[in-house]
Chain A
Amino acid sequence: MPPAGIWIDGLVQSSTYITMAFGMVLVFSILGILNWTHGQYYMLGAVIVYYGVTAAGVPFPISMLVTGLIIAGLGMLVKKVIIDRVSGDLYVGAVTLALIFFFEGLASMLFGMQDKGLANVMPGSMDFGSFSVSYQKIAVVGFTLVVMIAMYIVLNRTKVGLSIRAAAQEPRAASLYGVRVDRVSLIVMGIGCALAAWAGCIMGPVYSINPFIGRIPMIFSLLAIVIGGLGSLSGAIIGGLILGFLNSVMAYYISYYSEVVLFALVIILLLVRPQGLFGAALK
């Protein structure tokens, strides 16, 4: 049995993937695209919150809130100006792939490539005897819980949520009932990008920050939603938990072979259940 610290680590990793995956699921549900740039919104979130805290002196929570709003606006702008003008899933995919390098290059030029850090935000740790957990990691788990609850409330208890669910399930019927699907998809893009940015913000104090930090979280959150089932928020939670725990526990037992086993398990899962654990059966 791995030590408790490994399980807690798995929970922290899962939390990041879940927050990221929520945004991807939302965008996929409404826009029908995988937003490959999701990891770069994560990176931009971390970079902007870094400057908010260190250069502007804005307290971390406020800086984080503002960063989410900025990235939400950026995501909406990208949708309006670029994605909406490109037709065909393949071309939209190519555009969002190109944006990965655009945003990384832009961040490199504007912010530099040297690692930056927010280690001094929420310093200290909670002691559990044989191990301790930093307040930063506790904040990551706490924030993910808040996001999960907020998402549940927004989607199930608000008009916007109802519109989003309607647009996701039957966009034409929804529009006949007065739902402005184009506006809903714009809002969803904004929420999705903001979630990625907030994941980047909350992870900023945990890891180092540079223009390339978005790539791995993007891959793992994509895997989380593939495991859970594209378009399923509960699937994203389960997928994120499976990935986070497997990654941590297997790295403890089998070191660098962990990723080989992890990705082999994902492939086997998809062979057995192509729609993922909670997705609708594929045609």
Chain B
Amino acid sequence: MRKWHGITAVLVVIATVLGIVASACAGGGEKAAPPVATGPIIYKMGCPTPLSGPAAPWGQAGHDFYQKWIQLFNQAGGFKVGDTTYNVTFTEVDDENTPEGGAAAAKQLIYGDGCQAIVAYWSWGMPAVQAVTTPAKIPLLTRTGNEAVPMSEGGIYDPAKYPYTVFANPSHEQIISDFKAIAKAYPGRMIGIADSTLGKGPGWDVVDRTLDAAGIKYHHEWYTPAATDYTPYITKFKEAGCGVIYTAGDIGASFNIAKQRWDMGYKDIVCGVAGPCVDPSVYNAVVGYDASQGFIDQYFGIWDYKDTKIDPAIMAMAKQVNDDVAKDTGAPVVYTGWIGWMPSHMLILTQAMTKAGSTDPDAIMKAIQGGTFSTSTGTYTMSGAKTYGSPIVFGTPGALSQIKGDKEVYLSESPWTPLP
């Protein structure tokens, strides 16, 4: 028995040493190979994203669209830095929607795959990912959220410590715009805001203050992360006189809330979620056909926008991506959420590099601060110094759609405005 223990130990050591030697050789090989200027230089971008676990459907939803977007972007000539043409690549690594998974994925992307920027990052673990990207001087384009509320506002974010973080999707501004768009579509209705305790934090104080100032009536209910039965919360919303229940981001919860409010007989309450619709047929199946009608989602079908101006070339490319993906998969595209993430971040980053005339992270950040950029969700000039303590906050409009039949149709829109 002891002999086997010894043999096993020796085999493990040999395997480990061989692994280290092999990876060192591979890495060394890459370093030794001189760059061959046979075409455009590749600028590598990556994203830690949930590809497994409960959040995986949203991590996986954008994959085909992102790769097609990159392909079209490169075919259209990529981007220029001085006289040099660059093409881009985009790699996704599973982060299981956890901070530790996010940090590990960021390390893999930066040190394993050689990514020069992290974009479209939305998972649960921004501080952990920032801790990896900041020392490596890797621009991180991500969303805001409770993690982005500065210490002066009761949060944990210190902009001075994370000079390479760009808030390309301002979650709180967006949800405020959503509420304004809801108020526009359903004037006079009190909005019930449902969120899990995981989302409870100083960011909501900012949202509440803004809604108060805008005169929008609302009522909060916080449910536990383990909740599947929302009857008590729906009852409270009903008692508070809510005519709309808008769930902050948790699509599974929003399914159950929409279904259960219908079962409880509160058919006049409109339900929705602060997230893009992945597929209306899923809502019909999970929530029930009748109960899912009128369900509100965030909408990125930019060609339907009425109040937010988008560059026609970007819009055409987004449409082309949808057409190509539909052709490749043989099914009509019903997901538009991808447009608000990677393409938007990539456009900010590549335009910043063109403006800076450099791919150096410090030069990129200098170009981003105070610059104006045309993204897939509108044209924005950096703002946010007063709210996030950082000048590097972009905009996203609050544009909403509603499920009608088995389709997602434009409902209303409130263009982005910076937090007061």
Contact = CB atoms under 8 A, between A and B. Distances in A.
Interface of A: 2-3, 5-6, 9, 12-13, 54, 105, 108, 112-120, 123, 125, 127, 131-134, 136-137, 207-210, 212-213, 216, 219, 247-249, 251-252, 255-256, 258-259
Of residues A54, A108, A134, which shows the largest number of chain B Cβ atoms within 10 Å of its Cβ?
A134
Given A134-B263, A251-B233, A115 B288 contact: no
A259 B226 contact: yes
Given A5-B231, A210-B54, A136 B263 contact: yes
Of residues B53, B263, B285, which shows the largest number of chain A Cβ atoms within 10 Å of its Cβ?
B263
B228 A114 contact: no
A131 B282 contact: no
A209 B222 CA distance: 23
B232 A132 contact: no
B406 interface: no
Determine the main DSSP class of B at the interface with A: helix
A210 B58 CA distance: 14
B287 A251 contact: no
Nearest to A219: B226
B217 interface: no
Interface stretch (B177-185, B251-259, B298-306): B251-259
A125 B259 CA distance: 12
Of residues B56, B285, B290, which shows the largest number of chain A Cβ atoms within 10 Å of its Cβ?
B285
Contact of A132 (B233, B256, B265, B289): B265
Of residues B57, B226, B229, B288, which shows the largest number of chain A Cβ atoms within 10 Å of its Cβ?
B229
Given A212-B54, A216-B226, A255-B222, A125 B236 contact: no
Contact of A13 (B229, B233, B265, B282): B229
B233 A208 contact: no
A120 B229 contact: no
Contact of B286 (A6, A13, A116, A131): A116
Given A123-B288, A125-B265, A127-B265, A6 B232 contact: yes
B231 A9 contact: yes
Contacts of B259: 119
B355 to A, nearest CB: 40
A105 B56 CA distance: 12
A6 B231 contact: yes
Nearest to A132: B265
B197 to A, nearest CB: 5
B255 A120 contact: no
Nearest to B50: A113
B235 to A, nearest CB: 6
A248 B57 contact: no
Contacts of B290: 123
B224 interface: yes
Given A114-B278, A120-B285, A208 B232 contact: no
B264 interface: yes
A145 to B, nearest CB: 20
A75 to B, nearest CB: 24
B367 interface: no
Contacts of A256: 197, 222-224
B229 A9 contact: yes
B158 interface: no
A12 B201 CA distance: 32
A213 B282 CA distance: 17
16 contacts: A6-B235, A114-B57, A115-B251, A119-B259, A119-B285, A131-B265, A134-B263, A137-B263, A207-B256, A210-B54, A216-B228, A248-B229, A249-B232, A251-B233, A256-B197, A259-B224
Contacts of A112: 57
Contacts of A132: 263-265
A219 B226 CA distance: 10
A132 B265 CA distance: 5
A138 to B, nearest CB: 10
A116 B229 contact: no
B120 interface: no
Given A5-B235, A9-B231, A252-B236, A208 B256 contact: yes
Nearest to A216: B226
Nearest to A209: B286
Contacts of A137: 263
A131 B285 contact: no
Contacts of A120: 285, 288-289
B277 interface: no
A108 B265 CA distance: 34
B232 A117 contact: no
A255 B263 contact: no
B320 interface: no
A208 B229 CA distance: 11
A231 B415 CA distance: 60
A123 B227 CA distance: 23
Contact of A117 (B227, B236, B286): B286
A221 B92 CA distance: 38
A195 B233 CA distance: 29
A115 B235 contact: no
B232 A119 contact: no
A128 to B, nearest CB: 8
Given A115-B282, A125-B263, A108 B229 contact: no
B132 to A, nearest CB: 26
Interface string B361-383: 00000000000000000000000
A117 B224 contact: no
